[in-house]
Amino acid sequence: MAANAQHGVIGLPVKDKARKLTERILKNIERVNEDSFERLIKLILSTVGTKKIFIVGAGRSGLVGRSLANRLMHVGFNVYVVGETVTPALKRGDLLIAISGSGETKYPVSIAEEAKKLGAIVVAITSYPDSTLGKIADHKVIVGGRTQPAEDRDYILRQLMGQHEPLTPMGTLFELSTSVLCDALIAELTERMGKTEEDLRSRHASIE
């Protein structure tokens, strides 16, 4: 409790907590390198008509990845979430986007290693450019998260041990910031490809 009180979080109404969290997300996003994001946009656009996009992440990062895959599908990209039964073979020149705040979570790291061996272009969205995932990647988008690296960077172990930070537990700041950036990415891709809201709606699931 004392650690939380030091951060001025305990006792705040939910709306004030949300406001503080929103402020942190905005500051976090402002620190993202614009050129690195432009490079990601160009890599995604380069897949149009010929290549596939694969997305991988674990835990909450995996949920962010699924959301991104869903939106990329709406825009018209050939995109898959790694691990789904309908995911096809990855081929040379395909694009893998791996999302991991720590860059050390075993599942996305192992997928990135295998994708690299198969000749894919690997993009890491992470907080740590010198992490294992960062070193594997051909391109990195650095999104801040924890102010200090977690004592144990593996996501599953952190969950089991209950390691968290006040206000933004278990990497929340990274995932929320990445989620907002991914929505902005979709808006930019939609504009550059000349898509309309009706185009996106026509690809929305019709048998939910």
- Tell me which residues are annotated as active site: 175
Distance between CA 171 and CA 175 in Å, rounded?
Answer: 7
Amino acid in the structure at residue 110: S
Using DSSP's 3-state secondary structure scheme, residue 77 falls into coil
Backbone angles phi, psi at 33, to 5 degrees: -70, 120
Quickly count: other Cβ atoms within 10 Å of residue 107's Cβ.
20
Distance between CA 105 and CA 56 in Å, rounded?
Answer: 11
Distance between CA 48 and CA 44 in Å, rounded?
Answer: 8
Contact 106, 154 (CB under 8 A): yes
- Residue 53: strand pairing partners: 79, 95
Contact 43, 123 (CB under 8 A): yes
- What is the token pair recorded at 47? 């897949």
Q: Output DSSP code: residue 171.
A: G
Distance between CA 84 and CA 87 in Å, rounded?
Answer: 5
